[in-house]
Structure 1
Amino acid sequence: MNVQAADVTSFAPPMLRRLEDTGLQMVMMRDILLKTVFRKNVEQASAIAEAICLPMPLTQTLIDMLREMGLMQAMGTLHATSSSEMGYQLTDAGKARALDALSQSEYYGAMPVPLEAYKEQTRRQSVKNVRITREALQASMGHLILPDGMIDQLGPAVSSGRSVLMYGPPGNGKSSIAEGIRAALGDTIYVPRAIAYAGQVITLFDPIVHTPVATPETEGSGLRRHSARFDTRYIMCQRPTVMTGGELMLSMLDLNYNKTSRTYQASLQLKSTGGVFIVDDLGRQEEPPQALINRWIVPMEVGYDILTLQSGEKFEVPFDTLVVFSTNFHPNDLFDGAALRRIFFKVKIDGPTQEQFLKIFAMVARKKKVPLDEASLLHLLKTKYPTIDNNYANYHAPFLLDQIIAICEFEGIPYQMRPDLLDRAWENLFVKQEMIAH
């Protein structure tokens, strides 16, 4: 049975009740709070708590400790009739300490989650724990006309959380199927805004990759947010999807260090934890396919990845990702036998049959509001497709219909399907092989 969002509380990171529960050194929490107040110019305890993503009582405890150290001071005394909060500001010593901390790292804002705590959270919400039913997978791909038996092949692959290689001729929906796999996962996980290791902070939450899910705690007043029933250093999100294509470089799979700000950003692999990493158009990258797959072999087998800090220190991070490779090349042309053995599922995506092509054509025509014409379809099947050995592809229908629409709009006539319009559209489907004089 598929894990639903309502069940996500069963693996929610427990809410913080003491500063010790953060798992962070007091020096790190001190410096992050000082840098945050300095950079964001927040004064009230509730605003500071929201900025550093700690509960209000813990934030107040930190503020009181910094006041005792002479790094912060109160800006005024509340009266019994006053409804406003006490304001705080950095002392000269606090500003000096904040500037010194910023010279070491520009990171400020949310308190990070220790790496070990994040590993434990990853185990609780592992993508391998998701059990996808046939119905859920079919529903996520309901907009696709799939070859017979495709769900039988994809189901075990997705449900196991193991790597998948989809290959076959171009334009037959491999990318759309990969997106359907992501949609089938369906539930939510908790993503930390940042993680901490060896005194370094690595930002992990990425709004491009992670889609937050509204909860009662993340809506409404700041007071409600501070009373969340889980560790607010995390954000509840849909299971993430990272999709890359020809732009993928090996460097994207390692930590990104900004020398100017002296801060780290998580690798694409780390951002995809708990979700799907889709490598589209494998074989079109500058990096050789064998080099890319070699980078994944160990993480896929052992469940963890090795990252490196600027100091050269290496450390383990979770690798809990369903990796989906999609290529127009034959696998034997891309990888050696050892690499192929390590890709657990290999699924060939062939072009549609004539019957499936007609279903796709009718569905796309209906969507684009182009009336079907029997004579035109017969002309297409009997005259045009025999010239390419009746090799049908999923992308042909939307391509031809978009061409017809463009012609009709240019000619100033209603959308319609005619043999002569299909002939004009067909000319743009393929480029005639000929010598060009230079």
Structure 2
Amino acid sequence: MNTPAETLDMASSDESHSDPSSNNLEALLDRINRLASGEEAVEAQPEQRAVTEQSQVAPERPRPIVVPPVHNFEDAGRERKEWCPPEPKTLAQAGISEGQLEHLAIKCLGACGDCSGHELAEHHTVPFRLIEPVLATLKQAQLVAYRGSAPMNDYVYQLTEMGREQAKKLTEYCSYFGAAPVPLEHYIESVAEQTLTKVHPTRGDLERAFSDLLVNQNMLRRLGPAVNSGRGLFLFGFPGNGKTSIAERVTKAFGDTVWIPRAIGIDGEVMRVFDPALHEEIPLEMAAGPLHAREIDKRWVRIRRPTIVVGGELTMDALEVSPGTGNNVSEAPLQLKSNCGTLVIDDFGRQRMTTDVLLNRWIVPLEKRYDFLRLVNGKKIQVPFDQLIIFSTNLEPKDLVDDAFLRRIPYKIEVPDPSEEEFRQLFKIMAPILGMEYNQDSVDYLIATHYHPINRPFRCCQPRDLLLQIRNYCNYLDTMPTMCREYFDYAVENYFAVM
């Protein structure tokens, strides 16, 4: 007995050998699914819609799906919707040709050995109904053969001798055989739908984003307009006052998640975009039932809105398309991976390249909000430049760059030292986090003995660092971590030894 999901897959198989009743069933299930998701209220009869679909030579792309956000960012009745890539119904809607899918399947079988049709569909992240006729074509061309049967009216495929020769030739040209790439045009459209310029964070959004940091209202008042501009800003001030922490939390004010493609296809070359080292995948909670199991294009990944932080290790190579490990496979640069998010240049001015070289690379993108990249094969493409660039530095901005560039970064925000009251509040916050009971007398002693007499400035990082010194010392003594005068003297002696 077939399950409902198996029945749906069987009804979605090659149109060349499906009967009229199966076409009607597919159309009816598709209509139920669309009505259940609220995408449309009234639609043509199934028979009429089937005739219309067959008469279309180049079907339009499916309309984007809008789902409720994970967190409801709202202010005075305002609510944000999340854009989702809809599952393609045809290869034309997916933006890939039958030949491209054939090449991917052949290379995958050549590398992985025997695979069923559903396994290939899962590997290339395309619906089974799209890859099934492609496999039938490869079978007729004697490039693949049946090794056996598989569940859900499927077969296990293997390459023939002719297919192995073809796989070798295709791999020499392009070794990629992962998820089917998304066309560059579709990626550009997705960035336009999820652009930061459409999101205008309010004071409530920033307060939620900075809820785990001690940030005064004056700082939020200055950050708010800068974040809304979406163009970039300088954060400068003494080290240890939380510039990097502030920059990392700015992204939360724009919302939680965005969708990015696993890879982009550009004239035969594949550029990887999804990077597990920089992107955190946030799977979408799908509704129960087989009718809702395949609504989203699986070539895309739902990630936490990216915040990419780079420091003194940044080089110019990281800002250009870099060759991958295979033929005609490349890696997207940092600014493209951070689209619809935040790119933080930490310790600005301490990179191995000069600040002029780095800033000249971004003068046009910051002004025009698009960038030009040169692919490994020499082709130059235009891509969106849609992220908030934050330059975090301990140096004065005017000492690093000229007026022409400072004009393109309209917001320069100093992160000042905390007041004594804020300094004490940081001890109250950090003590329970590090497993200690807050002791007011010990903090009074610390400030009166080690700060006021020598005019030592307060820094936001010092309460955490000093309490960590105490905890580590107590762990060595095998005692309960405690805030006391003796332990503070020990921590100060170590922490400020050369400062």
Picking from 45, 50, 54, the partner of 2:117 is 45
Picking from 405, 416, 427, the partner of 2:482 is 416
Q: Does 1:193 align with 2:258?
A: no
Counterpart CA distance in 1 for 2:472 and 2:178 is 51
Q: Specify the alignment match of 1:182 in structure 2.
A: 251
Q: Deviations over 1:49-104 (max 9, x none)?
A: 111111111111211222233322333578xxx76632222222222111101011
For residue 114 of structure 1, what is the amino acid of its counterpart?
A: P
Counterpart CA distance in 1 for 2:264 and 2:326 is 20
Q: Is the alpha carbon distance of 1:72 and 1:346 closer, same or farther for their aligned partners in structure 2, counting shifts above 3 Å?
A: same
**How many equivalent residue pairs?**
425
For residue 260 of structure 2, what is the amino acid of its counterpart?
A: V
Structure 2 length as normaliser, TM-score?
0.79
Counterpart CA distance in 1 for 2:111 and 2:424 is 61
Q: Deviations over 1:334-365 (max 9, x none)?
A: 11111111113211101100111111112112
Percent pairwise identity: 34
Q: Map 1:130-145; keep pairs closer than 5 Å.
A: 130-145=199-214
For residue 84 of structure 2, what is the amino acid of its counterpart?
A: A
Q: Specify the alignment match of 1:436 in structure 2.
A: none
Q: Specify the alignment match of 2:136 in structure 1.
A: 64
Q: Specify the alignment match of 1:103 in structure 2.
A: 172
Shift of 1:119: 0.6
Q: Specify the alignment match of 1:287 in structure 2.
A: 353
Q: Please give the secondary structure, in 2, of the residue aligned with 1:75.
A: strand
For residue 102 of structure 2, what is the amino acid of its counterpart?
A: R
For residue 21 of structure 1, what is the amino acid of its counterpart?
A: Q
Q: Does 1:239 align with 2:336?
A: no
- Asked whether the equivalents of residues 201 and 227 of structure 2 are also in contact (C-alpha less than 8 Å), the reply is yes
Shift of 1:293: 2.1
Moved more, 61-70 or 111-120: 61-70
Moved more, 116-125 or 368-377: 368-377
Counterpart CA distance in 2 for 1:388 and 1:175 is 28
Where does structure 2 lack aligned partners over 5 or more consecutive residues? 1-67, 72-78
Q: Please give the secondary structure, in 2, of the residue aligned with 1:278.
A: strand
Counterpart CA distance in 1 for 2:353 and 2:315 is 6
Structure 1 length as normaliser, TM-score?
0.89
- Asked whether the equivalents of residues 33 and 109 of structure 1 are also in contact (C-alpha less than 8 Å), the reply is no
Q: Is the alpha carbon distance of 1:73 and 1:355 closer, same or farther for their aligned partners in structure 2, counting shifts above 3 Å?
A: same
For residue 85 of structure 2, what is the amino acid of its counterpart?
A: P
Q: Does 1:14 align with 2:86?
A: yes
Q: Specify the alignment match of 2:220 in structure 1.
A: 151
- Asked whether the equivalents of residues 42 and 48 of structure 1 are also in contact (C-alpha less than 8 Å), the reply is no
Q: Deviations over 1:85-138 (max 9, x none)?
A: 322222222221111010112111211011111111111111222232322211
- Asked whether the equivalents of residues 101 and 131 of structure 2 are also in contact (C-alpha less than 8 Å), the reply is no
Q: Map 1:292-331; keep pairs closer than 5 Å.
A: 292-331=358-397
For residue 356 of structure 1, what is the amino acid of its counterpart?
A: E
Counterpart CA distance in 2 for 1:173 and 1:246 is 17
For residue 193 of structure 2, what is the amino acid of its counterpart?
A: R
Q: Is the alpha carbon distance of 1:220 and 1:105 closer, same or farther for their aligned partners in structure 2, counting shifts above 3 Å?
A: farther
Q: Please give the secondary structure, in 2, of the residue aligned with 1:417.
A: coil
